[in-house]
Every structure is written in C-alpha cells, then in structure tokens.
A and B are shown apart, each in its own frame.
Chain A
Amino acid sequence: MSDLRELYQQTILDHHRKPRNFRAIAGADRTAHGDNPLCGDRITVYLRMGNGVIKDAAWEGSGCAISRASASMMTAGVIGKRNAEADELFHRVHAMLTEESNGDAARDVGKLAVFAGVREFPSRVKCATLPWHTLEAALHGTAEPVTTE
C-alpha cells in the first residue's frame, strides 16, 4: 500500500490546520455549494469577478483534511486567473487525481502537485475533487449543489 506520507504531505497538513481564504465574501458575484453527504464534506465557494478575472476566491465548509487542504490551495491558486485559465487548471488537477499516466499534468499544476498522491487512495479522490467541482459550478453558474460521490 502507498505510503501515508504521500497522501498527508506536510503542505496538505499545513493547509488543513491553517486553511487559507476560509471566509465568506460579502456580495460575492458567484457562489456555489458542494455536498458529499456520505462523507459529510460540505463546501461553499465564493468568487468576486472583475473583467473576466477571479479577483477574490474564498470558501467555507467542513470536511476531512484532504478536502479542506484542497479547497484552501485551490482558492489560493485561482485568484488572479481568468475564467478559462481556472477551467484549464481544473482539468489538469482532475486528470492528475483520476488518470493513470499523469506525468505531464502533475508538472503543470504547480504547488497543487502535492495532491498527486491522493490518486493512490481511491476512496479519498472525491474529497480532493469536491472543491474543484464546486468552483466549476460557481464559474459556470450552476444552481444545483454539486457532489463527487
């Protein structure tokens, strides 16, 4: 079995303990909810947009270390990105988390590469992807809560 340290990397544990952008954005332009009821992971993603750029991104919710760290690093990673760039990053992260050969994808996600180890723990992949699917729902204005279960 894969090493636990591959899953719970120091960076992930740091973001779990001290999540970044863990707040609501008053008057957010975009808001979306994600819910994995079997796990009990819940997240709300807030975005403030300006000129097609994500000016601010924040989140609130509760969940396991993987989902918290994923939401924390995701919001930090998409602030300042254009919509299309955030979409592109979503696809790369998703490929890294779910696809077999992801050597290229892992290189192109920057700091988010610390989540590459999650792929070896199939039951935990949905924890890491929930914030990202919720971000996508916010970017594309989906009203229904999203789930990755």
Chain B
Amino acid sequence: MPPYQGGGDMIKSVTFEKTRYNDLPYKFEAGTPHIAGAIGLAAALDYLSRLGFDRIGAREEELLAYGTELLAALPGVRLIGTARRKAAVLSFVLDGIHAHDVGTVLDHEGVAVRAGHHCAMPVMERFGVAATVRASMAFYNTRAELDTLARAVRRAREMLG
C-alpha cells in the first residue's frame, strides 16, 4: 500500500533512481507525531490509575443515584433509559417543552447539557420522543451541581411550561 502522505520518518532512503519507504507503522506516520497528545494521554492515565477505577465507578454510581432521585421527583420530568446498570448519564424529557428550549434555559443557568436526538434517531422513535436532554456526570461532578441542574429544570418548566 502506498503512503497516503509524505513527510518526516516515512522515508528510508531517496535517490534519483529509487525511493524506499520506511517499515510499518512509520510509513503511515508522516511528519511530527502528536507528542504533546501522547504525553497528555499518559498523564491522564496516571491520574485515573491513581484514583482507581473502582473508586471512580462508585463515585459516578452515587452521583447517578442522587441525580436520578432529584429529577424523578420533579413534576413533568420523564427519565429516558432507566436500566439498573447504566453509565452516569441522565436523559430526560420535560412534558410539553422541546429539548432545545430546555437546553437553552439550562445553559443560561450554567448547566451544560446535550439536547437533541444524540445521533440515535431510532432510539428516539423507540421511546416516542423527538429529542431528549442529557446530562452526563463524571467523578469530578458534585451533588451541588446536580442540585443546580434540578433547580434549572424547575425553572425551565416555570418559564416554558
């Protein structure tokens, strides 16, 4: 297979008669590699390993349980995706209010969410909704931030319901 791009390190030797490309994988890695990215990835892996994936998982489960409880208690909220074992995401719809309107209000309250069909239109159809709002939690999120989310959802309903 010929190289898709020319540049440093993909070449072995060049003369007027003949060009010899480097061995794999170098032949396909022309130019300066993404050094900063590789260092950053290593640092991220060190950080996560130090925290421990068990602890991270436990923390995210706790946040998920707390967030689920908060949202489920709000009038007009329907949670989409309530499997017993699931990642720390809260997808929901707000009765009679389009997900993008909810997203705009939440954004205004300082809560960043994804609104829309999430590149999963068949799933939207399965649940009979046009779009959902989705808050995703990671271990560094806090209960206070989930309280803010719940307040913002309440505000969206007051404003647009």
Chain A interface size band reads 10 to 19
Contact check, A7 vs B104: say whether CB atoms are below 8 A apart: yes
| Chain B, range 10-60, C-beta contacts under 8 Å to A | none
Give the CA-CA distance A38 to B159 in the complex, in Å. 24
Partner of B104, one of A4, A13, A40, A62: A4
With contacts A65-B98, A66-B101 taken as known, whether A8 is within 8 angstroms of B160 at the C-beta atoms is: yes
Find residues 11-52 in chain A having any chain B CB closer than 8 Å to their own CB: 13, 16, 38-40
Let me know if B117 is at the binding interface, CB within 8 A: yes
CB distance from A40 to the nearest CB of B (A): 4
A1 within 8 A of B: yes
CB A3 to nearest CB in B, in angstroms, measures 9
Q: Is the interface of B mostly helix, strand, loop or mixed?
A: helix
CB-based contact B104/A39 at 8 Å = no
Instruction: Known A39-B116, A63-B98, A64-B100; judge A4-B130 contact (CB<8 A).
Output: no
Output the residue of A1, A4, A38, A62 with the most chain B CB within 10 A: A4
Q: Provide the residues of chain B in CB contact with A123, threshold 8 Å.
A: 100, 104
- Contact A124 B131, CB 8 Å, known A8-B160, A63-B98, A64-B98: no
* Interface contact B159-A127, CB-CB below 8 Å: no
Q: In the complex, are the beta carbons of A40 and B131 less than 8 A apart?
A: yes
Q: Does B113 make an interface contact (CB < 8 A)?
A: no
Please, could you name 9 A-B residue pairs with CB atoms under 8 Å apart, sorted by A?
A8-B160, A13-B159, A16-B160, A38-B117, A40-B99, A64-B99, A64-B101, A65-B98, A66-B101
Binding site for A on B (CB under 8 A): 97-101, 104-105, 108, 116-117, 124, 130-131, 159-160
In the complex, given contacts A40-B124, A64-B100, what are 20 additional A-B residue pairs having Cβ atoms less than 8 angstroms apart? A1-B108, A4-B104, A8-B159, A13-B159, A16-B160, A38-B116, A38-B117, A39-B100, A39-B131, A40-B98, A40-B117, A63-B98, A64-B99, A65-B97, A65-B98, A65-B160, A66-B101, A121-B104, A124-B100, A124-B104
